[in-house]
Amino acid sequence: MRRTNTFVVRPRSEQDAELLHELLDASASLWNELTYERRQNYFDGKSVWDTADYRQRYVGVLGSATAQQLIRKNKSAWRSFFSLKEKGEKCSPPGYWGNEEDGRTLRTYVRNDQYTLEMGDRSRLEIPVGKELKEEYGLGHTERLRLEVAGVPKWDGKHGRLELYYDESSDQFRAFQPVTIDTSRLDTPLASEEAALDIGANNLAACTTTTGQQYLYHGRDLFDQFRDTTREIARLQSKLPEGRYSSNRIRQLYGGRTRRRDHAQNALVRDLLERLYNEGVSTVYVGDLTDVLETHWSVRANQKTHNFWAFRAFLDRLACTAEEYDITVEVRSEAWTSQTCPNCGSTTDTTRHQDTLTCSCGFEGHADLVASESFLRRHTDVPRPMARPVRFEWDSHEWLESPRSHRPKEVRTDQSIHG
């Protein structure tokens, strides 16, 4: 069974920070160039595997092993895409790690035998860099980039491929280290539970599990901030001279908007999967928004779902992170789940007003949580009554439990009450 250690990584000097930033930026460039060529081949009916030698192109900056890891990661993403298509699932080809206008996702992967992580009084991480960067920043021929590490590992075992990520909203570099531990929970009945996830914008995610737990991640404040930034971008664009389409300020706003969204999204995925793992969940069903959008399309819904929520990027991140917990992610149609009464099963006698769903049978509940519960019931048995929902608010850094949950963070809910 795999778990993940998370650390904050701190460059020892401004020069080290510049070097690390350049390394991650080059990784994003490799990913984007390779993805572009494969997407072009795919849409032209050609083989996506016949590409240029990107390892050779980036070996001078990234080093051979790191460049190869990124290429393998990209190849794995395309294999997952084709696997979903063969199963008849609605899916899109792998996407880019952002661009100069919207802001790039700065991330790289280091093979498990290419980095050294030492914990103690002077915790440090050493990673390889390419020859060109060594020469540019004055590193010796066999020298590696040394970084300070803050944090204590929770898990000990066989170390996997290291992921390095730059979070611009907090101006921190972070490291995720998958660790294979000896005890596999998949061999126990606890790891046979299932969960369903309803995606939205007012509430980013509503989740119901077969153990009776429900989780709700609020997103209204995040969306309002996203919308305000979008309006400011539109205002600035309207003042541009004829023939111009962008400016430094507009690019900064695009980048900040994307990074804030991605930071909240990544933190949500980590927080939710950790909780599901502790619940013994082995399968997560995620609603395919295609059917919903075709039935209930609007400008506001499109802005929330595609621009703000970036559903495809979220799904890719969810599936990638779920692998670390040996949790399977399956995309299924969720049509009509938001109109289905969990009490009587009616889809015609229900009324939704904002976050509340009511039914003529007397039922009243939170619409998104009801949708996730109904979605889960399509695939498996779900107990009733449910536990009191655990609600989370975003504080720009992490998801904290809302006082409306009526219990301290990390304490289990009251199983006798239905929310």
Q: What is the per-residue pLDDT for 169?
A: 67
pTM of the entire predicted model: 0.60
Non-local (6+) Cβ contacts of 298 within 8 A are none
202 and 89: one domain? no
What is the domain count for the chain? 2
Q: Of 68, 36, 38, which Cα lies nearest the Cα of 54?
A: 68
306 and 198: one domain? yes
- DSSP string of 347-397? SSSEEEETTEEEETTS-EEEHHHHHHHHHHHTTS---SSPPPPEEEEE-SS
Q: What is the per-residue pLDDT for 415?
A: 34
176 and 204: one domain? no
Q: What is the per-residue pLDDT for 132?
A: 94
288 and 156: one domain? no
Domain boundary among 183, 218, 252: 183
175 and 224: one domain? no
The answer to whether the CB of 78 falls within 8 A of the CB of 92 is: no
Domain boundary among 183, 211, 237: 183
Q: Tell me how far apart the alpha carbons of residues 373 and 186 are, in angstroms, rounded to a whole number.
A: 24
Copy the structure tokens of residue 60: 């001078």
Neighbours of 140 (CB within 10 A): 7
Q: Tell me how far apart the alpha carbons of residues 340 and 365 are, in angstroms, rounded to a whole number.
A: 11
97 and 192: one domain? no
Low-confidence ranges of the chain (pLDDT < 70): 1-2, 99-103, 169, 182-191, 201, 288-310, 333-339, 342-343, 345-349, 352-353, 383-385, 404-419
Q: Specify the CATH number for the domain of residue 324.
A: 3.30.420.140
Q: What is the per-residue pLDDT for 100?
A: 59
163 and 194: one domain? no
Domain boundary among 142, 164, 183: 183
Q: What is the per-residue pLDDT for 265?
A: 86
201 and 340: one domain? yes
Q: What is the per-residue pLDDT for 409?
A: 38
The answer to whether the CB of 279 falls within 8 A of the CB of 209 is: yes
344 and 300: one domain? yes
170 and 193: one domain? no
Q: Of 197, 195, 212, which Cα lies nearest the Cα of 380?
A: 195
168 and 220: one domain? no
Strands 350-353 and 356-359 turn out to be antiparallel
Q: What is the per-residue pLDDT for 75?
A: 93
The answer to whether the CB of 213 falls within 8 A of the CB of 196 is: no
Q: What is the extent of the structural domain holding 37?
A: 1-183
Long-range contacts of 349-357 (CB under 8 A, 24+ apart): 355/202, 355/203
Copy the structure tokens of residue 105: 């996702």
Phi/psi-derived region of residue 337, left when phi > 0, alpha when psi is between -120 and 50, beta in every other case: alpha
Neighbours of 120 (CB within 10 A): 7
345 and 222: one domain? yes
